[in-house]
Structure 1
Amino acid sequence: MHVSALIKRPPKYESISVGILYILMNSIGIFTSSIIIAGILLEKSMRTSQCYRMMLCISVLGIIQQVIGLISGFLTIWPLENVYATKIAGALFEPMWMCMLYFIFLLSVNRLGIVSTSYVYKNWITSICNVLSLVSILLGLGFVIAFLTPNVTMRYDPYIYAWRYFHTTEAFIVAMFEACSLTPLSILSLVNYIGILIAIYRKVSSIHSGGAQIQLPL
């Protein structure tokens, strides 16, 4: 028996309320992400900075997710019976999320350059981030292709207001790879940012005690 058949269908007023909330939240997200993207593209100093280029990639991936989230709001109010009707949207939703987390990790690695004053180290980080950015994009495209195959499907379930895997062996393997790769990267990103905050705090404290000014690199 299909999982949705075991779940009681929510009242219509609840579905409408959740759908409207999804539409409003993602509309605001699309608007703010568009401002960030426009700001980076219009400012030359930002376009030439690797840090801001990564932020641009994160914003673009985020806006794709928000568009799909907007679609989710309409699917909550007017659900589709065909489980494969939203296959393309599902094929973009999860891979974009995964690729975005890869770039968030890379951004944390890039920002480690703040900690060091060695130009060799900073150049090394820049080169590594360039290579890993390309790898992240290729991984994202690989997951899009995987989700477009017949045996791996991410569909929107209006009964639980969430996107979920259509259970197959292949989908389980993809889900496990996602969990095993994103969980450690998320933890490492957190550790990196905590280290960066501590380093900035120490620099600011030492410079304030000396009466000088600090300028952090982009």
Structure 2
Amino acid sequence: MHKTQAEALEFLQVLKLELEEADETRGVVLCAPFTALGTMSKSLHGGLIRLGAQNIHWEDSGAYTGEIAGAMLTEIGVEYVVVGHSERRQYFGETDETANLRVIAAQRHGLTPILCVGETKSQRDAGETETVIINQVKRGLVDVDQRNLVIAYEPIWAIGTGDTCEASEANRVIGLIREQLTNKAVTIQYGGSVKPDNIDEIMAQPEIDGALVGGASLDPVGFARIVNYR
């Protein structure tokens, strides 16, 4: 819940300048608040940056106050949508089952869902990481087309806490996620205190295809450094 429309456009102007020399094979998706999506879409035609939303409802319309439908997103040029983010699970009652319904809805509307999975500190301390992750993946992907999918592993204990998941450990868990998939080529990202000073090590890991960036994405210069990892 960051940036008004005006602030989002200001951010975008700086980011586009910073990415003028970026490797064209890098994929950049900005998942902005609903209010900023229409305004940002008009400024993004034909560039490196794609637009994503932060949520989608599983029904195409109806009395679901505060939710948003797939057609409302595609109409304004949105191509991706985050589903099952840890904050949605923690604060708004998202479950593996409702996340699954949202993933299916996203695909029905031609959107690429970014399904988030991850364990809490208590689950990790209890040695339950593998079981939790495998269950989240399996429940989240029931009847899902794995040809149009991104998965993000975000250890909840490493988000905004200052605790960082070692790159090698993130790589191990992401490898475990890949083992559960029928399509091994699915893009799997790491998310959890990703910053300009650790992105190079994260992206050097063989199983990690990208990053789901939180707070560090709010500064366009720092975010551009993440996109331009070395």
TM-score normalised per structure 1:
0.25
TM-score normalised per structure 2:
0.24
Larger RCO (CA within 8 A; separation ≥ 6): 1
- Compare the two structures and name the one with the higher strand fraction: 2
